[in-house]
Amino acid sequence: MRQPTKARVRLDEQKAASFGPAGRASCRFWLSTSRPRSNFVAARLAETEDRESAAQNAYIPNSGDNVSVIATATNAVIATIPVGSSPAGAAVTPDGTRVYVTNAGSGTVSVIDAATNAVTATVPVVGRPFGVAVSPDGSKVYVAVAITNDSTVSVIATATNAVTGTIPIVGNPVDVAVSPDGSKVYVTSPSSNTVSVIDAATNAVIATIPVSMQPFVVAVTPDGSKVYVTNFTAPGTVSVIDTATNTVTGTIPVGNAPEGILVTPDGSKVYVANAADGTVSVINTATNTVTDAIPVGIAPVSVAITPDGSKVYVVNSFNPVGTVSVIAVTTNMVIATIPVGSQPIAFGHFIQPAPRFAGTPGKANCFGQSVAALASQFGGLNAAAAALGFTSVGVLQNAILAFCGG
């Protein structure tokens, strides 16, 4: 019989404290312009037949006090980063340069430099941090922190990596998400069966929305009009919140013990990890009905999607060796299974975003402007590729071509 490690124990303790005795369970992103491609660029493209565009890594916290780094181009683990005790969440900044990892056991947030995959700062918070999200402009990090008597959302300024505010929340918060325009922050509280809405300008709670039993993870649609929330207690459901009115407009039955949830970049689908079923439910957002249930690994608890919307990464919290299932969105089939550390869990969007460059997408000079800016900033393309986490100059050039719109 497999034994729970300390990360699982800590999360289960949090669930038990938040949910009561009934809450104990085993869960958890081409150049198409009038400017022709040069022979040099064409040769570089030929080097990478799959036209892989960027260093878009996935960061998976493991209960062994480390983070596995998966290259989404190859689906291979390329690094393991030591962090704090019992890491539970990971969120990447919009520019892709830093990763914020919550450490529930040590009451800290580790800051990882994505170019070097090394921890460059450790931010203390008061309590046990779980969910984490970064504002769209990259200036703030919001962390759901559970404290025995008075739980909060901590606000970290990315310029200084210091806590600049603490926002009281009803109950023990688990997850947090930011609206696309950065104006609102949504926080789940399983112990109070509510979702709190924070005004990001004032750091004040402006609404508390009752949902179903034990709301766990929250996701916002790309247009900001709806929020989808997983409700852990059987029967597992997903609540749909209208952000204009802050009311629940629908409840969708899914699998048992739903935890992780995401909305695809085009807003057409929602993917839900059902921890007790070993499946991922697929919801059509036009009808708010389940259209598929995809078998994955044991105890799927977290999900994130690549920037182009082509692949969903599912964290399976198994012990002693956890895995990450990779789903092709076009077929809703698992195309890879990646071993990581023990009992992984990843609150937050743990995949790097698509890169942005200096040129203007769709313009004939986009590629040239982007290359010139990088060469000037870093002293050459080799240095730029290394600093930005690309494996070669060719892969960097492919990323620029993709960004420019070919």
Range of the domain at 68: 46-339
Q: Return the residue matching tokens 């040099």.
A: 40
CATH number at residue 320: 2.130.10.10
**Looking at residue 55, what is its pLDDT?**
60
- Predicted TM-score (pTM) above 0.85: no
| Vertex 97 angle, CA 95 and 99, to 5° | 110
The rounded distance, in Å, linking the Cα atoms of 303 and 326 is: 10
Q: Is the residue at 153 inside a domain?
A: yes
Residue 330 lies in a domain: yes
Residue 355 belongs to some domain of the structure: no
Q: Distance between CA 163 and CA 116 in Å, rounded?
A: 24
pLDDT at 148: 66
- The answer as to whether 394 is a domain residue is no
The pLDDT of residue 318: 86
Name the domain count of the chain: 1
- Residue 190 domain flag: yes
Mutual angle of helices 393-404 and 381-388, in 10-degree steps: 80
DSSP helix/strand/coil, 395: helix
Contact 340, 87 (CB under 8 A): no
3-state secondary structure 103-115: ECCCCEEEEEECC
Q: CA-to-CA distance for 201 and 366, rounded, in angstroms? A: 35
Residue 7 has a pLDDT of 42
Q: What is residue 21's predicted lDDT score, i.e. its pLDDT?
A: 30
**Amino acid present at 33:** T
Mean pLDDT by 10 residues, the chain (406 residues): 41 45 30 30 36 70 97 94 98 94 97 95 96 97 86 96 96 95 97 96 97 97 97 94 98 97 97 97 98 97 94 93 96 97 96 84 88 90 81 84 77
Strand, coil or helix: what is 47?
helix
Question: Does 255 reside within a domain?
Answer: yes
Q: What is the pLDDT of residue 404?
A: 85
How would you label 241-252 residue by residue, b for 16+ Cβ within 10 Å and e otherwise?
Answer: bebeebebeeeb
273 falls within a domain = yes
Amino acid residing at 383: A
Question: Is 362 domain-assigned?
Answer: no
Q: Is the dihedral of CA 281, 181, 200, 112 positive or negative?
A: positive
